[in-house]
Amino acid sequence: MTSPILTPRDWESHPPYRSSGYKSSVLRSPSRPLIPLRENLRDRRVPVYGAEDLGALDSDLTKNAAKNGEPLGERIIVTGRVLDEGGRPVRNTLVEIWQANAAGRYVHKADQHDAPLDPNFLGAGRCVTDNEGRYRFLTIKPGAYPWGNHPNAWRPNHIHFSLFGEYFGSRLVTQMYFPGDPLLALDPIYQGIPESARERLVSRFSIDTTQEGYALGYEFDIVLRGPQQTPTEA
């Protein structure tokens, strides 16, 4: 199988590595110019996971860490398609998510936010896209949380996504936001993305995805490369 010729990244759709409003980026951004990968390495297929290792509940965050009941918070369904630069579905690729719980706290020792942990919610899941490039997660809507970047700084509700794609050149880590969140206008991470590309990170409410009497539905399509690529955002 021959490797496709990948178009150059649209760097104008991505946030800068160093953004003065996002203090952490100053500490971790590269201090020297990036080194382009050789063409044959950039386009190489990279099967870096085993789909057979996924469990039946890995994509259901309301059950994959349950110990003595249901997690607290608003249940939501998050689904969408993973597409390549030509709009074609990216099949059988790994999609991973991680997020805060409904109170805005992560299960991580570095998170010392004064909010309760949920013993029945881990906040992490994974799945593999189907033949149409579609993924689906059942989870809890994450809460906002303070993050100390500037006075009275709060992160909007968001879910982190990690996608491997089919090539080194299509690796993507990004975030999904929710429509109508007033914190988006105040968030330097979201605002650090060029204005023309910001809406690519905002999900769409979907009544068709909503499960009656159980969970609201949101759709979030992800493009791994090209002029409509979903912006990179860790």
Report the catalytic residues.
Answer: 106, 145, 155, 158, 160
**Cα gap 164→167, rounded to integer Å:** 7
CA–CA distance, 162 with 224 (Å, rounded to integer): 11
User: Cα–Cα distance between 165 and 172 in angstroms, integer?
Assistant: 8
- Spell out the residues 6+ positions from residue 156 whose beta carbon is closer than 8 angstroms to its own: 144, 177, 178, 181, 183, 184, 187, 190
Length reported for the chain: 234
Task: Tell me the C-alpha distance between 115 and 76, whole Å.
Answer: 21
As to burial, measured by CB atoms within 10 angstroms (0-12 exposed, 13-18 middle, 19+ buried), residue 134 is middle
Which tokens hold the place of 152? 């009275």
